[in-house]
Amino acid sequence: MDKKRREVLKAGGGMTLLMLLAAAGWLRPGDVRAADWNKAAFDTKTMDETMKALGGGTPVPSNDIAFFSTPDIAENGAVVPIGITSKVPKTESIAILVEKNPNMLAATFDIPAGTEPSLSTRIKMGQTSNVYALVKADGKYYVASKEIKVTLGGCGG
């Protein structure tokens, strides 16, 4: 799907229009996905690259972003619980980034007005790493980080 068309669709009401088009049979589900999945951002390997792909500048460290139900040590890297709450006013989205994963960006969550800027999910971590909670609020980016240690489990083989 070419970029211009994507931008036009986005400009013309974002997902609502896309969903209408999909419902009308104009788009296959794959097109909806392609339009709405930021491949460039998910391919990035550094914070700078990720920020560029997301269209933002350098994020500002913020004490208004907190991790909850997120352990310092994960017993298994295949499932690492991550909870993030943002108290930054006008939070629009929350993203989870893992510094030492093959690709840095794990997930982004757009938070519409009326939804609490607080969520929890589970991610994979290949090794001990810093995990970043990146918040977009009123067009600006803020960040908090936490180191999570990943341990080797069981009989190790």
Is residue 29 a contact residue for other proteins (CB under 8 A)?
Answer: yes
Is residue 26 a contact residue for other proteins (CB under 8 A)?
Answer: no
Return the structure tokens found at 141: 């980016």
Q: How far apart are CA 17 and CA 20, in angstroms?
A: 5
Cβ-based nearer residue to other proteins, 82 or 144: 82
Cβ–Cβ under 8 Å, residues 108 and 55: no
Which has the closest alpha carbon to 97: 60, 64, 129, 119?
A: 129
| Positions in 77-96 near other proteins (CB under 8 A) | 78-81, 83
Cβ-based nearer residue to other proteins, 66 or 107: 107
Which has the closest alpha carbon to 125: 61, 59, 73?
A: 73
Return the structure tokens found at 39: 């491949």
**With CB under 8 A as the contact rule, which of the stretches 2-10, 58-66, 118-126, 133-141 interacts with other proteins?**
118-126
| Positions in 126-155 near other proteins (CB under 8 A) | 149, 151-155
3-11 helix and 14-23 helix, angle to the nearest 10 degrees = 110
Using CB under 8 A, list all residues that contact other proteins: 15, 28-30, 32-33, 36-38, 42, 69-76, 78-81, 83, 98, 101-103, 105-112, 114-116, 118-125, 149, 151-157
